[in-house]
Structure 1
Amino acid sequence: MTTADVSVRVAWSQDAAAIAAVQLRAWERRYDALLPSLLAERGLDPETHAAAWQASLTRPPEARHRALVALERVRVVGFALTGPATDPDADPAVDGEIGEFTIDPGHLRQGHGSRLLQAAVDTLLADGFTRVTTWVDSTDDALRAFLTSAGWDADGATRELADETGAGTVKQVRLHTATA
């Protein structure tokens, strides 16, 4: 019997292109109808997106902002962003958030999400946060089911994100969990 070489670690600046590629593939799957306008209005291409990730990984806003990557051998197959919660009703001293949680569509249901989620929550706990929130697209039943099976619950908060042209919107719900 063989086992896969899988892990989660803090992202390095050298992971920028791989993270950008995973994010763009996930967006393609998630926002199929909106993606052409998002890419056009933001001028996103793989190289530009990777450069933005490079800058973000090199200079995070503060020490408690982290990017974690899920690996299969040396290949990045997912990532999560952690840091202080930014919602108006959050207390950034005790409320942390997973700002993004993405697994490459070709690597779903292989355990990467569970490892990455646990590492993200452990990172936030180590940073002193006692509650964690994340926003989930209201139509992403798979991610919501995954998170609720891991003990997360909706807290009643919702929001609607619109692209800059107003042509497309994404409705989201907020989920939360305690870290300890």
Structure 2
Amino acid sequence: MRIARPDDVDEITEIQARTWRFAYAKVLPEAVLAELDTEAARSDWADALAGGAAEVHVATEGDWTVGFCAAGHAPESEVADANGALPADAATIGLIATLLVEPRWARRGHGGRLLHAAATGLRNAGATRGIAWLPEADTASRKFYTRAGWAEDGTVRVLDAGGTPVRELRVTGPLTVTLQD
């Protein structure tokens, strides 16, 4: 486990593309999935690693990069309820923007270690709790966050993914992460 470096951009981009194609093939249109490993996607990750709003951690196994997690301060638009009202602790909420482990490296604890590293970074930056948005159809990620002590908070959003609506649920939880079986 370590902080991502600029030379991790290609691996991060490829892990996102492979993982999303595996996990979301029935949720997202092929045109959206095809955009994940383009130069534009690489450029976005290069910008994130060059001092963006998120801290990016990578999980490694041996010489392989097997997963990553991007986390940072949650913008107001991410923490507001469905009516736009902000919770009292809005200024201290961290966002797990993405947490992905390539499927062939799953079930080895990488996701838990990534969440722990991100949560620690968020706590050190002054966050008191975290949130993440998950596609409703992604039951594996919902189970993962539940094992980490996070729960759905009742907030739902619908994103336009290339003309296909994708319903996402928001989960929230503590930044003292302990995974439970």
Q: Same fold (TM over 0.5)?
A: yes
Distance of aligned partners of 1:35 and 1:29 in 2 relative to their CA distance in 1, 3 Å threshold:
farther
SS in 1 for 2:127: coil
CA–CA distance in structure 1, aligned partners of residues 67 and 37 of structure 2: 19
5 Å matches for 1:42-121?
42=35, 44-61=36-53, 65-86=54-75, 87=78, 88=80, 89=86, 91-121=89-119
CA–CA distance in structure 1, aligned partners of residues 106 and 68 of structure 2: 12
Question: How much has 1:56 moved relative to structure 2?
Answer: 2.3
CA–CA distance in structure 1, aligned partners of residues 21 and 139 of structure 2: 17
Amino acid at match of 2:9: A
Contact in 1 for aligned 2:13/2:37 (Cα 8 Å) = no
Partner in structure 1 of residue 30 of structure 2 = 36
Contact in 2 for aligned 1:27/1:35 (Cα 8 Å) = no
Contact in 2 for aligned 1:81/1:100 (Cα 8 Å) = yes
Unpaired segments ≥5 residues, structure 2:
81-85, 177-181
Amino acid at match of 2:42: A
5 Å matches for 1:122-133?
122-133=120-131
Partner in structure 1 of residue 20 of structure 2 = 27
Alignment RMSD (CA, Å) = 1.9
Which of 160, 169, 175 is the matching residue for 2:165?
Answer: 169
Aligned residue pairs, count: 166
Range that drifts further, 128-137 or 45-54:
45-54
Contact in 1 for aligned 2:136/2:167 (Cα 8 Å) = yes
Unpaired segments ≥5 residues, structure 1:
1-7
Partner in structure 1 of residue 6 of structure 2 = 13
* TM-score, normalising length: structure 2: 0.83
CA–CA distance in structure 1, aligned partners of residues 52 and 99 of structure 2: 17
Question: How much has 1:17 moved relative to structure 2?
Answer: 0.2
After superposition, what is the alpha-carbon deviation per residue over 1:69-128, rounded to whole angstroms, capped at 9, x for unaligned? 111123211111111112233655311110111111111111111111111111111111
CA–CA distance in structure 1, aligned partners of residues 64 and 18 of structure 2: 15
Which of 148, 163, 174 is the matching residue for 1:178?
Answer: 174
* TM-score, normalising length: structure 1: 0.84
